[in-house]
Amino acid sequence: MSAKNINIAIVGLGFGAEFIPIYQKYPNATMYAICQRTQSKVDEVGDAFGIEKRYTDFNELLKDPDIDAVHINTPINNHAAQSLAALRAGKHVACTVPMATTVEECREIVQTVKETGLTYMMMETVIYSREFLFVKELYEKGELGRLQFLRASHQQEMAGWPGYWEGLPPMHYATHCVGPVLALSRAEAAYVSCYGSGRIDEKLIPKYGSPFAIESCHIKFKDSDLSAEVTRSLFNTARQYRESFDVYGSKKSFEWTQIEGEDSVIHTGEEPSRIKIPDYAKLLPEEIQAFTTAGVYDSDDNQHLSFIQGAGHGGSHPHLVHEFVSALLNKRQPYPNATQSANMTCVGILAHDSAMNDGKTIQLPDFTFSNP
């Protein structure tokens, strides 16, 4: 990796294809290679975006000495093994959520990052969404006052999704709601207690032995008087899709919109008011600012390559790219780094364990703390 340019390889070209044009326009980054198991798919994407280096074998990609960093967008059960393989091959890693599916996998990634001195970033979209950035700005300006409580939810209906999704415990994919409550003040979770509620279809239960329709977890922050509550559902629960984040402060509080398309609410004392969330493209290099708003791809001709996110998960995609690449260029830690990512991910894994044990309080392991 030169001081002026970083060669990026994207692995997984469903959701991952959305990041290609962002990397292509990012200063001091080269969208160097792509990887997908199906030759026809990798050629379709490569031809559309003019990318010459194409791989159908992840291990072969890792042998390419010109690749500096990989951005992994593969199924959840591949994240840990592929992140570890990439780190051990000398590549920096950005990986979509979650970091891993077990506590031990998280531990191994954190340890490997320490041993190699390489960079790892979990690409959690919500903590770079315009809604989160708006609340973060209020908090940093002191407008919220003292933080008193945080709440987040991620509710969706995944009936009919194939493979590993069937019957997945709600908290095993929880970083979209865990991430924002920890990220606002850059906190870490110390311990969790979680209860399961309701019951999913019987045919969905055997794969993971998880019966719950909803899991609701309380998180106690490390070295803080704060706690948070996060709620997650995946099956048999009537609710419009929602990723929400509420913050209660001594001066002002923020509550996410109840229904998609409506405005969020700011409470100043006891007085509520509707608020239009601004865009935060101003935080980005000019070359990628356009990617925070509708139109993820360069042209309409390319939009068929992946599902259209509209503004890319609340405009987060270019912010994620900027955080990862700028961290590499400036030789600093990204947010969240490996340790912070492990803390966010292990909250969900251990929360489900708690739910299966009638709400037992479970401590986060020391390796998930920046300062054990």
Place of tokens 């920890």: 182
Contact 351/215 with Cβ under 8 angstroms? yes
Based on the domain organization, do 147 and 263 belong to the same domain?
yes
* Residue range(s) defining the domain that contains residue 330: 6-125+324-335
Task: Report if residue 236 sits inside a domain.
Answer: yes
Assess whether pLDDT exceeds 50 at residue 1.
no
Q: Quick one: 331 and 270 in the same domain?
A: no
The answer to whether residue 301 is domain-embedded is no
Q: Is the domain of 130 the same as that of 221?
A: yes
Domain for residue 249, yes or no?
A: yes
Residues 272 and 141 in one domain: yes
For 54-111, what is each residue's pLDDT tens digit? 999 999 999 999 999 999 999 999 999 999 999 999 999 999 999 999 999 999 999 9
CATH of the domain at 268: 3.30.360.10
d(CA 196, CA 231): 10
Query: Which contiguous run of DSSP H or E holds residue 266?
Result: strand 264-268
| Tally of domains in the chain | 2
**Residue 213 located in a structural domain:** yes
* Distance (Å, whole) CA 156 – CA 238: 9
- 289: Cβ–Cβ under 8 A, 6 or more apart, which residues? 281, 282, 318
The answer to whether the beta carbons of residues 9 and 71 sit under 8 Å apart is: yes
Of the pLDDT bands very low, low, confident and very high (cuts 50, 70, 90), residue 358 is very high
Domain CATH number, residue 25:
3.40.50.720
In a domain, 298, yes or no: no
Both 159 and 272 in a single domain? Answer: yes
Contacts of 200 (CB under 8 A, 6+ apart): 167, 210, 211, 212, 213, 234, 235, 236
Residues 119 and 231 in one domain: no
296 in any annotated domain: no
For 35-59, what is each residue's pLDDT tens digit? 999 999 999 999 999 999 999 999 9
* Residue 14, domain member (yes or no): yes
Residues 167 and 115 in one domain: no
Q: Is 25 within the bounds of a domain?
A: yes
Share of the chain above pLDDT 90, in %: 90
Assigned token pair, 292 = 């925070």
Same domain membership, residue 31 and residue 132:
no
Under the phi-then-psi rule, with left for phi > 0, alpha for psi from -120 to 50, and beta for the rest, what region is 27?
A: beta
Phi/psi for 168 (5° steps) reads: -55, 130
CA 289 to chain CA centroid, Å, is 20
Instruction: Please tell me whether residues 104 and 175 are part of one structural domain.
Output: no
In this prediction, residues 128-135 reach a mean pLDDT of 96
Which phi-psi region, left, alpha or beta, contains residue 131 (left: φ > 0; alpha: ψ -120 to 50)?
A: alpha
329 and 214 belong to one structural domain: no
